[in-house]
Every structure is written in C-alpha cells, then in structure tokens.
Chains A and B, each alone.
Chain A
C-alpha cells in the first residue's frame, strides 16, 4: 500500500526494520526471515514490489548498484515512519496488556 502515515503492512514493517543496516535483495529476504525469528518467509514478488514503492516514497534510498545487486538503506523519512509504526504497535500492546490485566 502507498504509505500515507497510516498502519503499515507486516511485510513493509519488516523490510524497514531489516534495512536499519544497508542490505540488498536476496540477503534482505534472509534478513527479514531472521529478524522475524523465522515467522516471515518473504517472496521475491512481494519484496520487489515493496522496495520499488518505498524507493518512490523516499523511505529508502539506493546506495550502491553492482551489476544486478542493489543495496538500499533507510532514509530519515524511513526511520521516522518506522519509529511511528513502532509507537503505534507499542501503544496497541500496552492497551491490550492493560485491558487483560484489568479484566483479571
């Protein structure tokens, strides 16, 4: 989905998270798998679509192109979006914990 400060898809969030360190295509797929503790196995179509869109939205930037290997890193905007999404998810978890504990 085009990013307009709203909730991110899980795939988009994990790609941004994995790009805290500069990374490229295939390695990025492995990295998403590791960062999500093996929970997310991302397909190349999903990854390619999100990378293209995030580059257009200036959330990531291409820092190196070696033959077909493209290395990306987060931009300031990307970092801001990641932090914002983290705060949103955190607030949801806190709300849930509070409600569950209050319900005991």
Chain B
C-alpha cells in the first residue's frame, strides 16, 4: 500500500469535465483517488497510470448498489460515493466503452439538480435582499466608528451569506450551461483544462471558510466578554 496524500478537493461538481480531467491528471502523476472528505480528497500514491474517472448521478439510494454492480460488470469500478454523486474509474482501454454515450440522456439526469440549485439561489437572494434592506434602513455612519464585537460578527455573517449566495448563483449558471451543451448533443470534454478554474474556486472556498471561522471566534469572544 502506498502512502496517502491529501489535496483540497474541487467543489464545482457541475463542471464535470474539469473535475474528471483533474482526477485523470492526478492518476497520471501516480495519485489515485480513494475518498472524498468535506474539504479534502484522499489519494494513494502509487505507480502512475492512465485512469479515466467519471462523475455520475446516483439513481436513488434503493438502486445505488445495483448501479455500482452493473457498472463494475461493464468495466467501471466504484471509487467513492458522496452526496448525490458517485465516481467511477476505468483504465484507458478501447474495449471498455464510455460510461455515458448519449449527451441528451445525460442532460436529463442533471435536470433535478438544476431545479434544486435554482431554488437554493432564489431563496438565498431573498435572504440577502432582506438583510441588505434592513442594513440600509439602519445605516448610520457613526455606526462604523463604534463597531463592537456583535456588529463585527453581524457584518461578517452578512458577508458570508452574500458570498454563499454568489457561490449558489455560479453553480446554478454552470449547471445550466452544462445541461444546455449536453442537450445540444455536445458530450462532456473529459480532458477540459482545470488548473485556473479549480485554483480560483478553491481560493474562494478558503476565503469563505476563513470568514466563517473568524465570525465564530468573534461570537465566542463576545460571549466571554459580556
């Protein structure tokens, strides 16, 4: 068994091509995916190999085991499940067909997520609009000069909610554009360039996380103070 290596994992599931391309490039460097955690992906360091990875939508808990067996019988082994997604892997070989061979059919499997992401974005927009309105109503320039722990905590919470809303909207747009391309018959580019997009998204995630941690620390400090 090789040693384990952990890397920040991408959260842009809907940029499926970039996600799959990243995993392929990792395996070419000898890093073979084992598991996904909340923030990190766990790889096992071994000999470099050319492994195709495919992100797939689960067919519901009831049929998931059946889906895994059927895919394995046809050359695609399960690597890991997380949430509503699963990752399957197969060595690069002409004898093993692609997992999905019909883009229009694949678009259908994403329909439910596009709807869910849309609802999430709209709800988040409503919450942020209400917050912005209440902020505007109570705006006072003197307030900024006299900001206490509680005010800082509220401000950071607002920033975090706003950044979450932006994240939801970006995911919704990406999902919509992926589905649109699939419906037009364009298959997913499994070799899509990933470096810039994944680094940018990971930096954004780290910033949001830092804001959240700071907010928690300020809240705890304010409790001890009073």
Instruction: Spell out A's residues near B (CB within 8 Å).
Output: 1-2, 9-12, 25-26, 29, 40-46, 48-50, 52-53, 68
Contacts and interface: CB of A to CB of B under 8 A. Distances in A.
A43 B66 contact: no
7 contacts: A1-B104, A25-B70, A44-B70, A44-B73, A45-B100, A48-B59, A49-B105
A1 B73 contact: no
Given A41-B97, A46-B102, A49-B105, 14 more contacts: A1-B104, A1-B105, A11-B101, A11-B102, A26-B74, A29-B74, A43-B101, A44-B70, A45-B71, A45-B100, A49-B59, A49-B108, A52-B63, A68-B70
Contacts of A50: 105
A68 B97 contact: no
A59 to B, nearest CB: 14
Contacts of A12: 105
Contacts of A2: 108
Query: Which interface residue of A2, A45, A48, A50 has the most chain B CB atoms within 10 A?
Result: A45
B54 interface: yes
B109 A49 contact: yes
B76 A9 contact: no
Interface residues of B, number: 24
Interface SS majority for chain A: helix
B54 A45 contact: yes
B92 to A, nearest CB: 15
B104 A44 contact: no
Nearest to B107: A1
Contacts of A40: 101
A85 B46 CA distance: 51
Nearest to A29: B74
B86 to A, nearest CB: 10
Contacts of A46: 99-102, 105-106
